[in-house]
Amino acid sequence: MSDVILSIENVSKLYRLGTVGTGTFGGDVQRFWKTKILGQEDPFLKIGQTNDRTSKEKAEFVWALQDINFEVKRGEVLGIIGKNGAGKSTLLKLLSRITSPTTGSIKSAGRMASLLEVGTGFHPELTGRENIFLNGAILGMTKKEIQSKFDEIVDFSGCELYIDTPTKRYSSGMTVRLGFAVAAFLDPEILVVDEVLAVGDAEFQKKAIGKIKDLNIDTSRTILFVSHNMGVINEICDRVIEIRNGKINFDGLTNVGIKKYLSTGIDIKSTNKFVSEIKKTEVAEIILVEIMASSDKEIITFLTDIKVKVLVLINKANELIDFAFSVKSERDNIHLFHYAIYIDDKDNLKTGIYELYIVIPAMLLNAGGYLFDFWLGNGSKGVVGPLYENILHFDVIPEYFDHLVKETPGVIRPRINFFSKHINAPKYENFTIG
C-alpha cells in the first residue's frame, strides 16, 4: 500500500470577477455545448492575472490557485499557511470536492471529512442529534457506526443540554464544537480543518488541538490544518506549505516555513545593525541600533549576554524623553517582554547624540530568532513618538547540549537554582515492597 494518501498535480483554479457568464445568451449556450456536451475546452476562457488582492489593476479573470503540486503521506499533519486571500480556503474547497479545479487533478486514497466554515454540512432546522446522523451519513458512515460514536461526540462537544435543539439556535461557538466533534470522531482517513477553531473559546481550542494530536498519534490520521496561529501550527504540524498569491512559496519543515513566512515584509538592513537616515524630528530619533559582539565569533548563545548599543539623536533640549523597547519571538511574532525608561534629566539634556546600552542577561532566551521593536516619545507633552518596528533581528544559537534533543521547548530558559540533598532516613531502612 502506498504511503501517499493525497496527491495534488498541476491544480489551478480560475475565477471570473464581476458578472458571471459570457454576457450573451448565445455565448452561454455555446459554452454549455462545448464544455458539457462535447467535453472540449471553454472557448471563452481567458488567461487571468495572478491572485494578488492588493493589485489595483482591473482584471476580468484571476487565478485563485496556479500550478499547485504536492503530496501528503498517510499519517502526516500538514499545516497550510499564508495571508488572507492567498488561496488557502480555495485549496481546501478543491480538496473537499466542494468545487472543481480548472486544471489538474486531485487523487485521494481515503474518506475525507472537512470543517471549513461554521456549520459546514449542518441543516439549521435539524437538531444537533439529527445533524450528527446526517453528517455521518454524508461521510459514508453506517447508522450503527454513528450510534457507537454518538456519546463520545456529544461529550466532547459539550452540547448535551442542547442536543435536541435545532442548530439554528446554536451560537457560532456551539456549532463549531459540534461540527468539529462529528468530523473528529467519525473516523475519516483525512481530516481537513480550516481556521474555524478560532471561533471557539480557549478551553475548546485546547481540547481540539489535543484531539488532533491524539488522532495523529493513536490512529495515524492524516490532517490538513489551516491557521494563522503560528504557535499552534508549530506545535502540531510535521510540515508546512505557504501559499502566496495563489502559488506555493514554501514546502518543507515547519519551523523553517514559519520563520520564512513571518519574515515576509520585514526590511532588515543587516542581521545585527540598523542605521537610520538622520531626519530632523521635533524631539528625538533613533539613528543606530547595533548588537555588540561579545566574542571573537560574533555569535549569541544561550550562555551569552545580549548587548545592544542605541544611538539617539536629541533635536530639542530640555525635554522629557521616553524610550522603550520590546523583544518578540520571530517564530510566532509574540511579544516576550517590554521595558521602558525615562530620560528625565531634562534640565541638563542638550541636543546631540546620546549612547544608550541595553544588556539582556544570559540564560534567559532559548535558541531561536528574535526581533526588536523600539519607541520614542515626549513624556512632558504626552506625545508618542515614532515606532521602529522589527528593526533588528538576532539569533540565539544552541549550545552543544541543545543538539542532544530535537528542540528545547519554550521561548525562555531562565536560570533555575536546583539543589539536591541525600536524606538518610533510618525509619525507612527496613521498608520493603511486596
pLDDT in tens, 272-285: 666 665 555 677 78
Tell me: do 247 and 315 sit in the same domain. no
pLDDT higher than threshold 50 for residue 116:
yes
The reply to whether 80 and 198 lie within a common domain is yes
**45 lies in a domain?**
yes
**What's the total number of domains in the chain?**
2
pLDDT for the residue numbered 20: 58
- With contact defined as beta carbons under 8 Å apart, do 254 and 238 qualify? yes
Flag whether pLDDT at 128 surpasses 60. yes
The verdict on 245 and 284 lying in the same domain is: no
Range of the domain at 302: 273-404
134 belongs to a structural domain = yes
Q: How confident is the model at residue 356 (pLDDT cuts 50, 70, 90)?
A: confident
Q: Is residue 342 pLDDT above 50, yes or no? A: yes
Same domain, 126 and 185: yes
pTM over 0.75: no
Q: How confident is the model at residue 403 (pLDDT cuts 50, 70, 90)?
A: very low
Kindly report, residue by residue over 256-314, the tens digit of the pLDDT: 787 777 666 544 444 566 666 555 567 778 888 888 755 544 567 777 788 888 888 88
Q: Are residues 286 and 162 in the same domain?
A: no
* pLDDT interval class at 48 (50, 70, 90): low
Residue 363 lies in a domain: yes
